[in-house]
Amino acid sequence: MKSRSQLSRRRVLALTGAGAAVAAFPFVRPSFAQGGPLKVGLMLPYSGTYAQLGEAITRAIELYVKQKGGALAGRQITFVKLDDESEPPKGAENTTKLIEGEKVDVLIGTVHSGVAMAMAKIAREAGLPTINPNAGADVLTRALCAKNIFRTSFANGQVGLATGKAAAEAGIKTAVSFTWDYAAGKEMIAGFAEAFTAGGGKVLKEITIPFPTVEFQSALAEIANWQPEITHSFFSGGGAVKYIKDYAAAKLGIPLWGPGFLTDGVEAAVGAAGDGVKTVLHYADDVDNPENKAFRKDYTDAYKVPPDVFAVQGWDTMQLLEAGLKAVGGDVSKRDAMFAAMSTASFKSPRGPFDISAAHNPIQNFYLRELKGGKNVLIKTVATKFSDPGTGCKLAS
């Protein structure tokens, strides 16, 4: 017997290949006055190098709603899923499919910064409640912040700054950064360089390769030539699995660091090759609070795999949505009141305390972790209630 999520996933994947990327559960939608369901569009990658990230986010979102008996603030929730394939050129059209074609009430997405920027442009015009459960493009909560767009993950620069700070505080003096050449990688290594340099470190070289290629060998040879004290890398999903394995096989003798996306969700796939990789992230498997313990148990019981940061971000997306829905009794047409409640939301997350900045980005703790025996073990808290500067955002708090 297939679970509902397995069935829906199969349909999304089947439909995507045929060019019809939207999979909806068939239903008749009565109006809100009749107590109709709230239609939530999930625009996420279900194929390509970030497929596992989209899956983890979706699982946590579905688990949250299931635990609430299928309804939030009195509204039944239905999902429409769209595989955005982490393809920026398709971002605008896919967003329009959900907003105009499917007439979703709420939009959730996405993972890839380039797709998220295309998506935000359309969502901002449409004005519907939109929550970004991963993509870190800095501008989304800086100069291009918007009243109706909220982020439950991080800004790329925010993670980079925390990682650079941790490396400098560990007494490291030289690094080479190596990443994918698009907003996420570039902004993470820029944040890293800023904080690492401020802490007395020096970035010897920044190397990039196109997203989502996984030809790492020539960069690894270049890193060997530079002989930095550490390599600092952002790769994620399927690309991170190959990178960590290739890096270990190259036997450079240079410790590998990165933002925690490098090791989250890939622990089992990389096995012993990942042991010793040090990363900084707004989550660690063993964050010690009751919310994390309950979340890890429930998620693992439901899906037979442990959760990762992406699942946590999906979970908190629903906490934020529920806070907004509760403020308006489930009536999303009361947009100003809903956004006001979301702008001041504060809740307990598996990651630790979650507050939201005036620019709609999480204010959160960052942790130094080390991958050991398949777990991202917390070494220490690097920054407490750390906020991205939100530079250029004109929203009132």
Q: How far is the CB of 167 from ligand PHB (least distance, A)?
A: 19
Selection from 155, 154, 153 nearest residue 317 by Cα: 153
Q: Where are the beta strands (DSSP E) in the chain?
A: 22-24, 38-44, 71-72, 75-83, 106-109, 130-132, 149-151, 174-180, 202-209, 230-234, 256-259, 278-281, 346-349, 352-356, 362-372, 375-386
Per CB under 6 A, the list member of 9, 112, 151, 351 interacting with ligand PHB is 112
Tokens for 95?
A: 């967003």
Residues 6 or more apart from 6 whose CB is under 8 A from it? Answer: none
Per CB under 6 A, the list member of 5, 130, 152, 236 interacting with ligand PHB is 236
User: According to the binding rule CB under 6 A, does residue 261 interact with ligand PHB?
Assistant: yes
Q: Are residues 232 and 258 in contact, defined by beta-carbon separation less than 8 angstroms? A: yes
Between CA 393 and CA 225 the distance in angstroms is 41
Between CA 64 and CA 295 the distance in angstroms is 10
User: According to the binding rule CB under 6 A, does residue 190 interact with ligand PHB?
Assistant: no
**C-beta closer to ligand PHB: residue 130 or 236:** 236
Q: How far is the CB of 72 from ligand PHB (least distance, A)?
A: 26
Taking CB under 6 A as the rule, which mask of x and - marks residues 158-187 in contact with ligand PHB?
--------------------------x---
User: According to the binding rule CB under 6 A, does residue 307 interact with ligand PHB?
Assistant: no
**C-beta closer to ligand PHB: residue 172 or 266:** 266
**C-beta closer to ligand PHB: residue 92 or 337:** 92
**C-beta closer to ligand PHB: residue 156 or 365:** 156
User: According to the binding rule CB under 6 A, does residue 393 interact with ligand PHB?
Assistant: no
Q: How far is the CB of 151 from ligand PHB (least distance, A)?
A: 10
User: According to the binding rule CB under 6 A, does residue 113 interact with ligand PHB?
Assistant: yes
Tokens for 251?
A: 């036997």
Taking CB under 6 A as the rule, which mask of x and - marks residues 119-158 in contact with ligand PHB?
---------------xxxx------------------x--
Selection from 249, 261, 297 nearest residue 369 by Cα: 261
Q: Considering only the stretches 62-70, 105-113, 279-287, 370-378, report the one whose residues sit in contact with ligand PHB under the rule CB under 6 A.
A: 105-113
Three-state DSSP class for 39?
strand
- Long-range contact set of residues 376-380: C-beta below 8 Å, sequence gap at least 24: 376/260, 376/263, 376/264, 376/267, 376/279, 376/281, 376/283, 376/284, 376/285, 377/284, 377/285, 377/286, 378/284, 378/285, 378/286, 378/287, 379/278
Q: Considering only the stretches 69-77, 111-119, 163-171, 198-206, report the one whose residues sit in contact with ligand PHB under the rule CB under 6 A.
A: 111-119
Q: How far is the CB of 385 from ligand PHB (least distance, A)?
A: 21
User: According to the binding rule CB under 6 A, does residue 111 interact with ligand PHB?
Assistant: yes
Binding-site size, ligand PHB (CB under 6 A): 12
Q: Are residues 257 and 70 in contact, defined by beta-carbon separation less than 8 angstroms? A: no
* Binding-site ranges for ligand PHB (CB under 6 A): 50, 111-113, 134-137, 156, 184, 236, 261
